[in-house]
A and B are shown apart, each in its own frame.
Chain A
């Protein structure tokens, strides 16, 4: 790890696509399925998680030499819970309706495996600025994934996007898309698309590497 050259930009980019938390790592699926019924909820959830990810990554990375190995998970949870409480009160102050819509899922960010996973696997082993970039990349990747699911569910399920009516009266709403099962359907279809693109990319990469290999020999 220490020998490899760590580039902050790379750490940011990887969270968007190559290691996307929802579509590739399949982490943090509980909020991704539960509060992605509208695009606004998805965006708010993503922003809240991003803030916690960045701040927890920074703190864990700064404190990594003071946290005893035996008590690290407890310490991480304490750090994460502190920032989640900040977010909780901030959302309550900004919009009480949004707070109601997100419900218990703000408090549940504390036990989001994505944040704990990044603290444990990345922030505790890297320098603070790199940990921040990693948290930011993961957070943005998470937000984008939630938005993808949320847009599909809101457009089909309510005929709106960010609360704005998209269609004239008489649009037939797909009730299932607002229900929890719609979250599974939308997510599964996006996973299908992402995996399909990834397979095509891998095939193309293999071909180019074979061609360059042949040219070299």
Chain B
């Protein structure tokens, strides 16, 4: 074989590639996330910038160290882990203590990704695993929201961000409630324009729906994201919330609110489309998106917590291989008739 390959290349398909390797795709995801990140830092100030930096650094360092420790070549160079870290940072509250950010990153990459076998093997989206762990471990800190566009957000660092490791954070900034918490506990619905422009409070990168959609459209245009997943999520959420709004408009907000509030945009466009943890068939993607949409609406309307995008995506990740299994097409010549 070794001799022969000098003259004749023998390999399995695909024989024609378009050069879309992991690092090319990941660089494009980074470009798509850039406007969201810049807006997040502009809206929330130094706290958000530090959270994003520490989140990315913790994921990259964990991956690098685990690779070195287990004697494998480091996979940091292909940008994928930096994107995981950036996405993880974008899902966190802007005034979360940095030591919690670090622990979540180590947990998400170490247990959510590396123990499953590293890049390409993770059953769950590592960024969301890290966030889910923080949500379970530090529920108070994870539901503390900074007011966006506060005065002097670039001059000082919020004291909670710089809390001593393992010590409770102290909050100096004025706290506020997210649109979803207002919907759930006060039955107040924020306006669609306000939500799409990112004028509300929330996690670092989830507030500005318009910029997230822009990034998503860029990736779809470069054919680096399966558009069926976000489309299916949006459609499911919109239809169910529209039906419930018709039924009782004072309790259930409409489709525009549901699509642009909370982490739905960020989750649907950048988290649910994780290439490893989502189904590989197109029909599977439609089903997967619909499942996420249904779970999001169920958790938001009737669950104990105001937001459910994270859990919806993690649960759908868990069943995505089974979705692919379920819809296997019948191989010609086998099955019902032939047997």
Binding site for B on A (CB under 8 A): 167, 170-172, 174-177, 179, 181, 185, 188
Interface residues on chain B, number (Cβ under 8 Å): 14
Q: CB distance B166 to A172 under 8 Å?
A: yes
Ordered by A's residue number, 29 sampled pairs between the chains whose C-beta atoms are within 8 Å are: A167-B166, A170-B167, A170-B168, A171-B166, A171-B167, A171-B168, A172-B97, A172-B100, A172-B138, A172-B141, A172-B163, A172-B166, A172-B167, A172-B168, A172-B169, A174-B137, A174-B138, A175-B136, A175-B137, A175-B138, A175-B139, A176-B133, A176-B136, A176-B137, A177-B137, A179-B136, A181-B136, A185-B111, A188-B111
Q: For residue B100, which residues in chain A have a CB less than 8 angstroms away from its CB?
A: 172
| A70 → chain B closest CB, angstroms | 43
| A96 → chain B closest CB, angstroms | 31
Q: A172-B166, A172-B167, A175-B137 are in contact. List 18 more A-B contacts (CB 8 A).
A: A167-B166, A170-B167, A170-B168, A171-B167, A172-B97, A172-B138, A172-B141, A172-B168, A172-B169, A174-B137, A174-B138, A175-B136, A175-B139, A176-B136, A176-B137, A177-B137, A181-B136, A185-B111
Q: For residue B138, which residues in chain A have a CB less than 8 angstroms away from its CB?
A: 172, 174-175
One digit per residue, 1 when the CB lies within 8 angstroms of any chain A CB and 0 when it does not, for chain B 83-119 equals 0000000000000010010000000000100000000
**Which B residue's beta carbon lies closest to that of A172?**
B168
Binding site for A on B (CB under 8 A): 97, 100, 111, 133, 136-139, 141, 163, 166-169
Q: For residue B136, which residues in chain A have a CB less than 8 angstroms away from its CB?
A: 175-176, 179, 181
A43 to B138 alpha-carbon distance, docked (Å): 27
| A174 → chain B closest CB, angstroms | 4
Q: For residue B111, which residues in chain A have a CB less than 8 angstroms away from its CB?
A: 185, 188
Q: For residue B163, which residues in chain A have a CB less than 8 angstroms away from its CB?
A: 172
Q: For residue A175, which residues in chain B have a CB less than 8 angstroms away from its CB?
A: 136-139
| B131 → chain A closest CB, angstroms | 13
Q: For residue A177, which residues in chain B have a CB less than 8 angstroms away from its CB?
A: 137
Q: For residue A181, which residues in chain B have a CB less than 8 angstroms away from its CB?
A: 136
A172 to B133 alpha-carbon distance, docked (Å): 15
| B242 → chain A closest CB, angstroms | 36
Instruction: Report which residue of B111, B136, B137 has the largest number of chain A beta carbons within 10 angstroms of its beta carbon.
Output: B137
| A171 → chain B closest CB, angstroms | 6
Closest 4 CB pairs of A and B: A176-B136, A176-B137, A174-B137, A172-B168
| A192 → chain B closest CB, angstroms | 8
Q: For residue A172, which residues in chain B have a CB less than 8 angstroms away from its CB?
A: 97, 100, 138, 141, 163, 166-169
Q: For residue A167, which residues in chain B have a CB less than 8 angstroms away from its CB?
A: 166
A120 to B136 alpha-carbon distance, docked (Å): 41
A172 to B169 alpha-carbon distance, docked (Å): 8
A174 to B134 alpha-carbon distance, docked (Å): 9
| A157 → chain B closest CB, angstroms | 9
**Which A residue's beta carbon lies closest to that of B167?**
A170
| B100 → chain A closest CB, angstroms | 8
Q: For residue B97, which residues in chain A have a CB less than 8 angstroms away from its CB?
A: 172
| B72 → chain A closest CB, angstroms | 16
Q: For residue A188, which residues in chain B have a CB less than 8 angstroms away from its CB?
A: 111
